[in-house]
Amino acid sequence: MIETIRNWILCIIGTTIVCSVITALTPEGTAKRAVKVVCGFAAAIAMLGIITDFDYADYSLYLSLYRLEADETISDALQKSSQQTRFIIEEECEAYILDKANGLGGGLDTVSVTAAWSDEGVWYPARVELSGNMDSEAKEQLTGEIAAELGISQEEQIWSGENET
């Protein structure tokens, strides 16, 4: 396919160069006008040459392969975008929980949010693992805020490393 187009372009360039040289060497008058007409026909034939040599089956195959490659590229981009969205949601929720914990007196060392894919086709925070030392009242309040604000049920809030005071 590419070879056919390359050859066609080379034919046009070659015809143009030959016609230019012949026209430049021809003396003024009727002979020059006749050469210009002949060169015009030669250029037209060179331009239309692609029609006779063009392999439509090859072109169809080329377009099909190009379409498959484009679909794969789009699919990869969508997958990467989805993963990026998941990462952002997890990171933002972690920052939110740490901020809330600091507002309640601190005590959290690490927070790890895990997002899940919903039936509606979006990422949502589904689980959180928390470690640190918080008193029972602050822990209970934070657990309630996580459930109310982020929709992570108390069963999906996993606490470790607690020293309740």
Give the model's pLDDT for residue 7: 82
Tell me how far apart the alpha carbons of residues 63 and 152 are, in angstroms, rounded to a whole number: 48
Residue 92's pLDDT band (boundaries 50, 70, 90)?
Answer: very high
Instruction: Name the band, by pLDDT with cuts 50, 70 and 90, for residue 51.
Output: confident
Query: Do residue 36 and residue 99 come from a single domain?
Result: no
47 and 111 within one domain = no
Closest CA to 134 of 93, 158, 163: 163
Range of the domain at 119: 86-160
Determine, yes or no, domain membership for 38: yes
Q: Domain ends where: 55, 76, 97?
A: 76
Q: Structure tokens of 138?
A: 């602050």
**Per-residue pLDDT at 162:** 53
* Contact criterion met (CB below 8 Å) for 161 and 131: yes
Q: Supply the pTM of this predicted model.
A: 0.57
Q: What's the confidence (pLDDT) of residue 4? A: 75
Q: Are residues 50 and 27 in the same domain?
A: yes
List, in sequence order, every beta strand (DSSP E) within the chain.
108-117, 123-132, 157-160
Q: Would you say residue 34 lies in a domain?
A: yes
Calpha distance 35→40 (Å, rounded): 8
Are residues 92 and 31 part of one domain? Answer: no
Asked whether residue 91 is assigned to any structural domain, the reply reads yes
The CATH number given to whatever domain includes residue 110 is: 3.30.70
On whether both 55 and 6 belong to a single domain, the answer is: yes
Same domain, 151 and 95: yes
Asked whether residue 165 is assigned to any structural domain, the reply reads no
Mean pLDDT, range 15-26, rounded to an integer: 90
| pLDDT at residue number 165 | 41
pLDDT, mean of residues 136-157: 91
Q: Is residue 81 part of a domain?
A: no
pLDDT at 164 over 50: no
Same domain, 105 and 54: no
Which pLDDT score is estimated for 114?
Answer: 94
Same domain, 70 and 133: no
More confident residue, 54 or 66: 66
In the chain, the number of structural domains is 2
